[in-house]
Structure 1
Amino acid sequence: MPFFAYKARNSRGELIQGVLESVDSSAVADQLFSTGVTPIEILLTKKTVTSTERGWWERFSEEKVRSIDVQLFSRQLYTLLKSGVPIMRGLAGLQESAINKSFARVLQDIRESLDAGRELSAAMRRHPEVFIPFYISMVRVGEMTGRLEEIFLRLFDHLEFEREMRERIRTAMRYPMFVVIAMVVAIGVINLFVIPAFAKVYAGFNAKLPFMTQILINFSNFTVHYWPLVIAIIVGAIFGFKLYVATPKGCYKWDKAKLKIPIIGPIILKGTLARFARSFALASRSGVPIVQALNVVAQTVDNAHIESRVDQIRDGVERGESILRTATTSGVFTPIVLQMIAVGEETGELDSLMDEIAQMYEREVDYELKTLSSKIEPILIVGLGILVLILALGVFLPIWDLGKVAMHK
């Protein structure tokens, strides 16, 4: 179908414009009238919504769509649909009131896709950078079951859980990261300025230096003379690591290794399993078949290793095995969780029990995050002590030896 560029005015007299895909200009006018706007001009065009002219600087500097924007959109759309507001009128109102201009353009494209006859889930699928596959799949379930407003409320709760989890982790890691950065800066200052000054003093005595002092001076000289190479190596290592993690094999190995990191690994595992249980409960409660639910939930865990285990559970269920049996062989669930899965399968209340599992893991993660700083502090203190000891032995030991020699003379 052809595209038509239009200019129209809304109920407040504001000028709006966009592009619609329809059979002819009369159909475009009907679509605009149905959304409560009055068309002024409708012209045939070859440009689609996504090909609107924007300079490279505008595209580079535009505000990105954040997860909070999608979360608030879900809550607002639930309220509008529950109140009986037609979805096209609701989307038009949300577009006009959107603070994020990038998200307003996304809503405009969704409206125009709906005008062109597409389903809401198909319209959202055109924006994978905004709506994750799980979100789109749940909207699709809402369309199939006729419970779209309920789905948006549950998606809002799910996104709120995800946001709180990220905020807790960010808050817990703020102090350790500050200490680590301070230590790195201190090491850099000592290598570039302090040790070279002491090295000049030692050179005037023509005395044999301790082994630790020689290591520090050699390392400092290398840093001073080859600092561009050091920076290039660090940047190259970071860039190479990101490239490796971007590959399926690298992503799988890194996600598996993260779960084995002391202190941090168990928190990541529990948070991931909480996300899995919450997503599975949401999908199951919404009427999604178990196999399809597992397929959708696997895309939300954000860990390639756990995702492979969820896929393993799905394959087992497809072969006719029970969820308990396949979850046991996956090796990622605790005995308590496996027992609750068994009870859920027997009673038919798997969605409720999976919700309980999610809450249990959330409480454990919350406790772990609250005590994270106290667990990391001893490690940081020991590391700082070792650093001070090395510097003290390397810098002050030669002065002590030279002082003893001078006293004997």
Structure 2
Amino acid sequence: MATKKPPKIHLYHWEGTNARRERIKGEIEAEDINFVRAKLREQGISPKRIRKKSSFSLKLGEKVTARDITLFSRQLATMIKAGVPVVQALTITIEGQTKKKMRDLLIDLRDQVSAGIPVAQALRRHPLIFDDLFCSLVEAGEASGALEDMLERVAMYKERMESLKNKIKKALYYPIFVMVIGLAVAALLLIKVVPEFERMFASFGAELPAYTQMVINLSRFMQEWWYLVFGSLGVALYLVFFWRKRSETFAYNLSKFTLRLPIAGQLLHKSAVARFSRTLATSFSAGVPLVDALDSAGSSTGNLVYRKIIHNIKEDVATGQQLNFAMRQARIFPTMVNQMVAIGEESGALDTMLLKVAEFFEEEVNTMVDSMTSLLEPLVIAVLGVIVGGLVIAMYLPIFQMGSIM
């Protein structure tokens, strides 16, 4: 059953006065202007002016990346640990920031915190940049008086997750990119080079080899219908991305398909388990309730199949089931993971066991990526050689036959 589509988030710029009648301003991400007014009034801020920033202007700025947030977390943790107040630490971070959008974000955070708003609540105003896990850990750090430790934990967590994502991208994008280049070269040969050979062969007046004739026929088709071929590929790719965003059913089936791919599917499985384990361990060790931690863990897997299954696990756990029992029923996690979780629950060291699981599967992903890279490089070169070499042989085959006759 399809779930309700999440509302679209917009960025609003606001100006107003706080309880001390001081003029302050900032930015907040929200569904609509009424939500912005309600949020500001909750914090004792009287809004004077609110306007939605255009999406075009946002696209002109540099995007805030996970690396920016990781660096920000480490800098803030270091300064707070050194005894620098949060507002002053944010001001120092702003002065060293060169990226405009990140600078604007930090200015808004500083304005909110200086107005008396807790750091976690200020972060929650930017849900597109700071996810629930980040905000929950910061909130736990503020409540326990160990904000700097939680920020360091967040930075370490994000570094591990980004490293894992980059490994996956390296394994999957490299062969795709090389194959696209190879097909583009083959298309160029068929459209521009083969016709020159065809005109030369026409003067021979002899029957061409079947293989050469097949390549010439393919060249004629590409010359006449190249725009249809490339247009169809472009439309197909557009529809895949369009329906993945618009249709949850299509996106879910696409995720299921990728998990069933040979080699790549296993890599995605291991990656999802590693992300799930590390996110759940990080959240649970910070004092986040297990049911809430499962929400963050499901979102972090990067796969809708795992997200749906983890959502079902969360519902089972909420009714009183043990986590390991709910995971066994899901029948998607490896037996070793279920056993480690069971040991962790029995011994009261669930976060420690989950971290061991995460480290094991991260190492598995690293090993698999290195193996795939070393195997794919010669394989891709061989495929490109067959494509380009096959076209070259087809064009020179009639010439070789004429030489043997003469």
Q: What is the TM-score normalised by the length of structure 2? A: 0.81
**Equivalent residue in structure 1 for 2:49, among 17, 22, 47:** 47
Aligned: 1:22 with 2:18: yes
Cα distance in 2 for partners of 1:188, 1:74 equals 48
1:120-199 equivalences under 5 Å are 120-172=119-171, 176-177=175-176, 179-199=178-198
Cα distance in 2 for partners of 1:171, 1:90 equals 36
**Structure 1: gaps spanning 5 or more residues:** 1-17, 30-43
Cα distance in 2 for partners of 1:244, 1:175 equals 25
Greater Cα offset, 85-94 or 345-354: 85-94
Equivalent pair of 1:176/1:376 in contact (CA under 8 Å): yes
Aligned: 1:292 with 2:292: yes
Equivalent pair of 1:20/1:115 in contact (CA under 8 Å): no
Shift of 1:402: 5.4
Query: Any idea what SS the aligned residue of 1:339 has?
Result: helix
Query: Any idea what SS the aligned residue of 2:312 has?
Result: helix
Aligned: 1:232 with 2:234: no
Shift of 1:165: 2.0
Shift of 1:340: 1.0
Shift of 1:214: 3.5
1:93-132 equivalences under 5 Å are 93-132=92-131
Aligned equivalent of 1:68: 67
Query: Any idea what SS the aligned residue of 2:299 has?
Result: coil
Cα distance in 1 for partners of 2:172, 2:379 equals 14
For these two proteins, the number of residue pairs brought into alignment is 371
Greater Cα offset, 360-369 or 184-193: 184-193
1:313-352 equivalences under 5 Å are 313-352=313-352
Q: Output the amino acid matched with 1:300.
A: S
Cα distance in 2 for partners of 1:226, 1:120 equals 59
1:338-383 CA-to-partner distances (Å, cap 9, x unmatched) read: 2111111111111000000011011111111222222223532552
Equivalent pair of 2:179/2:384 in contact (CA under 8 Å): no
Equivalent pair of 1:19/1:112 in contact (CA under 8 Å): no
Q: What is the TM-score normalised by the length of structure 1? A: 0.81
1:143-176 CA-to-partner distances (Å, cap 9, x unmatched) read: 4444322221110001111222234345556753
Aligned equivalent of 1:88: 87
Q: Output the amino acid matched with 2:347.
A: T
Cα distance in 1 for partners of 2:84, 2:16 equals 22
Equivalent pair of 1:137/1:296 in contact (CA under 8 Å): no
Query: Any idea what SS the aligned residue of 2:333 has?
Result: coil
Change (3 A) 1:333 1:217: same
Cα distance in 2 for partners of 1:78, 1:293 equals 23
Cα distance in 2 for partners of 1:359, 1:151 equals 20
Q: Supply the RMSD in Å over aligned alpha carbons.
A: 2.9
Aligned equivalent of 1:258: 258
Query: Any idea what SS the aligned residue of 2:300 has?
Result: coil
Cα distance in 1 for partners of 2:286, 2:58 equals 38
Change (3 A) 1:394 1:329: farther
Cα distance in 1 for partners of 2:296, 2:165 equals 21
1:277-313 CA-to-partner distances (Å, cap 9, x unmatched) read: 1111111101111111112221211211111121121
Change (3 A) 1:51 1:245: closer
Shift of 1:205: 4.0
Shift of 1:329: 2.1
Cα distance in 2 for partners of 1:132, 1:220 equals 51
Equivalent pair of 2:16/2:49 in contact (CA under 8 Å): no
Equivalent pair of 2:94/2:103 in contact (CA under 8 Å): yes
Change (3 A) 1:181 1:292: same
The structure number with the bigger radius of gyration is 1
Shift of 1:319: 2.3
1:197-221 CA-to-partner distances (Å, cap 9, x unmatched) read: 1221233345444443333222212
Equivalent pair of 1:278/1:355 in contact (CA under 8 Å): yes
Shift of 1:92: 2.1
Query: Any idea what SS the aligned residue of 1:47 has?
Result: strand
Aligned equivalent of 1:301: 301
Cα distance in 2 for partners of 1:316, 1:55 equals 40
